[in-house]
Chains A and B, each alone.
Chain A
């Protein structure tokens, strides 16, 4: 029924099967939307946040999706600015994933603030000293850039592309995409960094506080670096999951391997920098405030030293060493493990920089604060996941997201007697008749 919308030369599942899948995911989406409405209409008392835990699951989710969505800006930078042309086969998907991540981040922020109708104050009454202001401006602008980068892909839908205006618009947007890629990289540097700065400037919280360069604490640079390093791993991970679900090869190995290699070196350099930062903090910065490193990792039921070892060694050095070796990148299982660990690592880092910061007592007579999210918080955090799956499914079905798909998955030609009349026509005539998929 929807075959006229499906890209040429590729096969998609029947519409009923697709509708069933979308319906199931929409049910989860609906659950999240219900929880979101509860939070908007009844207030943040629907959550398990409290005066010790003013930032919680949502802010972690926000930071995490922005970090793993970093694949969009970094892949764009590599492709359009550094001329890594092999990445053209994965750039569309990287942009789509980035678009989903950033729109999700904005939605979560809209739920997270106590007075959503005053959300615009952050722009109108902007405090230039606040890292959050920098986050808001750069995040919003970059979301605009991602939208501009996503639009040409939508315009390439088979039916939209038939309209000459849209066809030319899409073509011309592709021509100037390097400008947007550069803008995106610039904006991303600042919003990824300022998210790191959000924690790093908290001089009242010695676990988070870092010195730095000019107005930016070291966490500013570490956050940008880690997003550029681990974001592409998430792009690869989602590509691999999509390939597993569709049971098709969608991106050529050279693109995946190139991205994995660059990501591996980025992770390695990042994790070395992170180790130095942690060492300096533990040996110099924290003791200058009268605290030892183990003060932050003991006397509580959750936050032990295991969390630091997991983040730096298991989810840092291990994936880095896998990805920088040719053997590791070419081994499918090793690649899966490496990209998964890298994604877990960066998400764990964001968790630590949000939730552990608030859990730790600073006054000597204060206590560790533990927290578990309410179902409303969990549902609204799953909401963007469901939304992302739906947008990926729709984009995959109706847009030419993977330029190599037709080449990598050639359709078996039907015997002449079984062919539809449209398939016997010439290319020019076929354009006018909806194709079967």
Chain B
């Protein structure tokens, strides 16, 4: 946990996701699972038990044809900053198994420290945290395809999106060897951002004017999920459709006409 991050040298990695571009193809989900050794079971029909660090929600405006409209919304961990690094999950973890990095703004998860109380899951309104109800079991031979840079998690601990932090570590190693001091924008990208065929996901340092996310986050069509709660998330969404932007938060009747028309698909 740390102080509010405002200094030019402090990084705040985050995303801008253009919902007008997202087709809901799921490439980002697949890339995330492959990159981060996210386990799965034979029967994944109960989505309350599936581990999906990045999950795509299907939103509809609830209107009948021909006015019906849908939107796919990818939801990774929001890496909330809260106030002064007090994100909802970090401040509640009793064993400091999850932490807010002052250097990067990334909310980490220390699997070997977590003892599985699941308080962080209860605190997260985005359902971005997942519990390992089972030990991971990989299909025969798949162990060889696991990423050597990401440790698989054991039964009984919580896991979540790390913004592919291992890639940041690798990028830092590279610049150290090359005698440079700054990781360039294209040297550290998350797997979901790279896998998106529509280029809907842009990843980078929200504090760095050279990074694309810096400008994109200021779009007049931008919003963040549940901003009113004070979670201060680092995932920005962009949509030209008003009902989609309204779906990002709760509004009283007088505040938002379209709140009741949004439905989960």
Contacts and interface: CB of A to CB of B under 8 A. Distances in A.
Interface stretch (A51-59, A245-253, A276-284): A51-59
B115 A119 contact: yes
Nearest to B120: A54
B263 A132 contact: no
A50 B48 contact: yes
Contacts of A113: 115-117, 156
Contacts of B34: none
Nearest to B58: A365
A26 B248 CA distance: 53
Interface string A128-170: 0111110010000000000000000000000000000000000
B1 interface: yes
A287 B228 CA distance: 10
Contacts of B125: 204-205, 362-363
B250 A291 contact: yes
Interface stretch (A67-75, A83-91, A195-203, A218-226): A195-203
A357 interface: yes
B122 A367 contact: no
Nearest to B132: A114
B127 interface: yes
Contacts of B247: 364-365
A201 B157 CA distance: 22
A141 to B, nearest CB: 16
Nearest to A369: B48
A130 B91 contact: yes
Nearest to B119: A132
Interface residues of B, number: 64
Interface in B45-96: 46, 48-50, 57, 59, 73, 82, 86, 88, 91-96
Interface string A14-52: 000000000000000000000000000001110001111
A132 B121 CA distance: 14
How big is the A interface, by class? Answer: 35 or more
Contact of B264 (A55, A292, A365): A365
A132 B133 contact: no
B129 A114 contact: no
A309 interface: no
B241 interface: no
A132 B226 contact: no
B229 A52 contact: no
B263 A365 contact: yes
Interface string A221-244: 000000000000000000000000
A332 interface: no
Given A113-B116, A288-B228, A290-B251, A205 B123 contact: yes
Contacts of A130: 91-94, 119
Contact of A43 (B92, B133, B226): B133
B158 to A, nearest CB: 8
A108 interface: no
A53 B264 CA distance: 19
Interface in B6-55: 46, 48-50
A288 B134 CA distance: 40
Contacts of B2: none
B190 interface: no
A203 B134 contact: no
A202 B92 contact: yes
B165 interface: no
Contact of B126 (A44, A54, A127, A363): A363
B130 to A, nearest CB: 5
Contacts of B49: 50-51
A122 B132 CA distance: 19
Given A127-B94, A289-B228, A369-B48, A54 B262 contact: no
Interface of B: 1, 46, 48-50, 57, 59, 73, 82, 86, 88, 91-97, 113-119, 121-127, 129-135, 154-158, 225-226, 228-231, 246-252, 255-256, 259, 262-265
9 contacts: A54-B122, A55-B122, A114-B117, A114-B158, A132-B119, A136-B94, A206-B229, A358-B122, A363-B126
